[in-house]
Structure 1
């Protein structure tokens, strides 16, 4: 068996493992995002990026594992991720943070970027292993 054939077999034969890793990584990232966004606010420190950029990056990271490893799950994980972003904004005033529609929009933009990047990477991986 040549190396590309071996890689193709590994990609196809380990679908259940890929799916489990994708869902576990997505769940872990969601927990981290919840902790970071729902913890009481710390003293404001000016960062390199805006708050909206951090939201977009976090939600892009949230979408990436499923997009790369378990694309079929996007049909249900992305609506849940969008609801998760909305719930965060609704809960934030309870923990002393402000709710902003722009944060939710940044979450949605991040999800779109994460899905697009993940599906691009998935296509590259699949084209590489199918050689």
Structure 2
């Protein structure tokens, strides 16, 4: 197993908690004006939630799917809270978050299936 993936595998709980705190903070605090480039907002959501789910899906505890469901519900809750903290909640953001959770799971599955095998040499 490659060193970066081994670190993710070994420290998956810490990484997941840190990612969840960062995503939640960035989602609920007003941001300064940023240039509006079409598509970047949804791409950022997809990448953030993919990174959030990846350590869990790579380690695959027996309850991993419950954690994924929790992340989906958490992201929905954030979208519902955003109008109360001078942000804009959007259903398409929620869809991008969910797609990120699914893509993080898929990437971890592919790496686990094909990329993490120990060499026998």
TM interval, short-chain normalised: 0.7 to 0.9
The runs of at least 4 consecutive aligned structure 1 residues that moved more than 4 Å come to none
CA RMSD of aligned residues (A): 2.2
Q: Name the TM-score, length of structure 1 as normaliser.
A: 0.77
In the alignment, what sits opposite 2:26?
Answer: 36
Uncovered stretches (5+) of structure 2, i.e. residues with no partner: 2-8
Higher helix share: 1
Q: Is residue 51 of structure 2 the alignment partner of residue 61 of structure 1?
A: yes
Cα gap change, 1:39/1:107 in structure 2, threshold over 3 Å: closer, same or farther?
same
CA distance in 1, matches of 2:108, 2:62: 12
Please state how far the C-alpha of 1:130 moved relative to its aligned partner.
Answer: 6.7
CA distance in 2, matches of 1:118, 1:107: 17
Please state how far the C-alpha of 1:94 moved relative to its aligned partner.
Answer: 1.0
Please state how far the C-alpha of 1:123 moved relative to its aligned partner.
Answer: 1.6
Please state how far the C-alpha of 1:101 moved relative to its aligned partner.
Answer: 0.3
In the alignment, what sits opposite 1:129?
Answer: 118
